[in-house]
Amino acid sequence: MKIFNVVKNFVSYYKTYILILVIIFASTISIIYTNINGKSRIVVNDNELEIDDRDNKIAVYITGEVVNPGVYYIDENLRLDDLVKECGGLTSQADLSEINLAEKLNDSDKIDIPKIAIEEENEEDNIENNDDNDLININKASKDELKTLNGIGDTLADNIIEYRKNNKFNTIEDILEVNGIGESKFENIKEYICVN
């Protein structure tokens, strides 16, 4: 009973120090266990994974047209093709024309798999191939049609209509006679207008 009282008094008197020692001891055991186990827990794409820190792993970030983009910890000798498989494969919109699937990956690489570009008609080709039916006839065009020309607003459209009440545009250059239309404005619209 006397020993019990001595222990009780000792614990009561040194309880703060004992608590600190227990915390230090528990932390040390935890660190030792992690180093012996050699494994850490990481989060990849909202999934908690356990990786082995002792293995030769590299971190690679892949984005774009893959099923599960994100950061992946993979073996250092893997190729881009292996990484694509690891992240669930490619989407149907993936464009591999500029991608080398045999590329060897390095730590901290960022790979972006591009999307297939939607082929758009070349506007310049369209302009060159326009016939007179696609051009704005400045002798007959309505105000709204005139306003579709680059830089022609309400005022200039009204000026063109007013001018042609008394004059006919014989050539597209005649539009320079309209109040408010100078050389720079003419350069912007000359490919889009006609007089026939």
Which of 45-49, 58-62, 70-74, 176-180 is least confident? 45-49
Question: Which candidate, 108, 114, 117, 17, places its Cα nearest to that of 61?
Answer: 108
Measured between alpha carbons, how far is 121 from 125 in angstroms, rounded to an integer? 8
What per-residue confidence (pLDDT) applies to 14?
83
55-112 pLDDT tens trace: 679 999 999 999 999 999 999 889 999 999 999 999 999 998 888 999 999 999 999 9
**What residues have CB less than 8 Å from 103, skipping those under 6 apart?**
79, 80
Q: Which pTM was predicted?
A: 0.37
Q: Which amino acid is at 130?
A: N
Q: Which of 38-42, 106-110, 165-169 has the lowest mean pLDDT?
A: 38-42
CA torsion 57-59-64-66 (nearest 10°) is 30
**Residue 139 structure tokens:** 């002798």
Mean pLDDT of 31-40: 56
Cα angle 169-171-175, degrees, rounded to a multiple of 5? 60
Determine what percent of the chain is predicted with pLDDT higher than 90. 51
Q: How confident is the model at residue 51 (pLDDT cuts 50, 70, 90)?
A: low
Q: For the structural domain made of 123-194, what CATH number should be given?
A: 1.10.150.320
pLDDT of residue 54: 44
Q: What is the rounded average pLDDT for all residues in the chain?
A: 82
* CATH fold for domain 43-113: Ubiquitin-like (UB roll) (3.10.20)
In the chain, where the domains are located: 43-113, 123-194
